[in-house]
Structure 1
Amino acid sequence: MSNASPHTLLKLGDVRRVFRLIGEVRELGSDPKQWRPHMIRRLGQMLGAEIVVSSEIHFRKAAGTGRMRVIDIGWGCDSEGHVWKIHTEREDETPDAYWLLAGKPAATAGGRAKGSSRKVAPAPPPGAVEELVPVKPARPLYGGTCFILSQCALPHAGAVDQLGLHRASGDQPFTQAEHRLVRLFHVELGRLWRKDAIRRAQDPNADLPPRLAQTLEALLEGASEKQIAIKLDLSQHTVHNYVKALHQRFEVSSRGELLAKAGKIRATFLPQLSLPPQKQS
């Protein structure tokens, strides 16, 4: 018999609601202006929170100067379902101000002392090169009786996804089970942003055998079966069989459908961030 307190145990119904919400986020995921407000409204209802805030915090370092720019984009929601957008940009801050650790600490310009007033960060000049700063939480989950803060690292995007829930002083305190439920939700949401998941979402070739991947890539570039056969030094009959195999894998019946579906998968990254990951050279 378990000695665990009922305040620490997750209820099956609550876990089901978490995974149902993950599915809803994926369905709305092409537009962060839809999925984030929907997510925080639902979380507020599920956990009886007075305020829920969900944001992505991006860290950029200017190449050459080392000046750090922090972009915080997200949404907040109150207990009545009113939603507001958050978008701030600041400079001369370091990840530890957000309870985060940087993979490569960046020097701040001007020797500003920690804890001093913040400055609004100017937009980088056109063509300026900024490096992503990989970050990770010092502790993934913070909390107490009145607040829960969960952080999910997105090092490939130079960002962290942050989820905070608050109750007013005097309200029923958050239980350990509610802390665990928030973390479960955030971990499952974070799985959608894992680098390999993003790669698969952006690259329909990711799980294909090499020859099928080469054939699909050539089709997406506009090559005919005859041109693909010449390029890959294969018979046209073999290439035709590869194309038929691609039709089966993508569950389509024509080349047009194949190209449309493969192209759509390549462009899909759900749920979308407000500031998409930039390609690094």
Structure 2
Amino acid sequence: MEKSSRLTLADYRAIHRLVGECRELGDDVTCWQQHLIEVLAGLTGGSIGFVGEMEGFRSKRPKHLSQAEWGWSCESDRAGYFAGFADYVRNPESYETERVCRRWFLVEDGISLSRTQLFDDRRWEATKEFQDIFRPLGARNALWCNRSIPGAAGDFSLGIHLMRAGRPRDFNARERAVVYETQAALAPLVGGPLAQVCDPSPAALPPQARRVLQCLLEGDGDKQIAARMKLSRYTVNQYMKVVFRHFRVRSRAELMARWIRRGWSVRSIP
């Protein structure tokens, strides 16, 4: 990776702020990933962006577990892109960027790569991905960044992909560094303060169960929760069972331990 000294103090502040905002949204994988790609596109001048969790990238069996997207100007562009993306998911090895990026990432985990670092114009225009995906969007340049998730049990990584539609200039060293530093700060948080795809989210609970969860985390007992919510203790107990099942815990102590381990706050409950 080129030296991150190309970043300004304002860049570092923006990255720090973005990581903090993602942590605030961290209990919901869709929310924090959506916010990440929207802000990151703004910081780098990307016109279309994607971020998601992937399994098996380094073992040549990539499986996309989640994907947040941003920047479509119209639904037809989006539909055309995903038609091509569906073919990529079925046949990733037929796409040259898949093979080339993997070689780079195996050498330096988390490296941020631009299109012109990987392909000259002539070679790029001959690729299947340019013809089937980029060209219909009027896009020539792109950025790829993939970083392993530390501590994950298996080949799991967080991938960021940005494209420039209708703009001739490729992503420069500063913009690549912004993505690199952001990714380096976020990847270690996935599975902790930042939820993974497989993690249960408070947002998936019914509204009343979320209120019970909030009361539990604030230290209220059954009687206090019933009074606060104007419910019977029996009804509160049923909602508690819903909460425990959702988070795969068996007691308040386990629930609190899980919450603390994740680094969440009561404020993160939607």
Q: When the two structures are superposed, what TM-score results if normalisation uses the length of structure 1?
A: 0.47
- Which structure has the larger Rg? 1
Q: Write 1 or 2 for the structure with the bigger share of helix.
A: 2
Higher normalized contact order (CA 8 Å, seq sep 6+, divided by chain length): 2
TM-score scaled by structure 2? 0.48
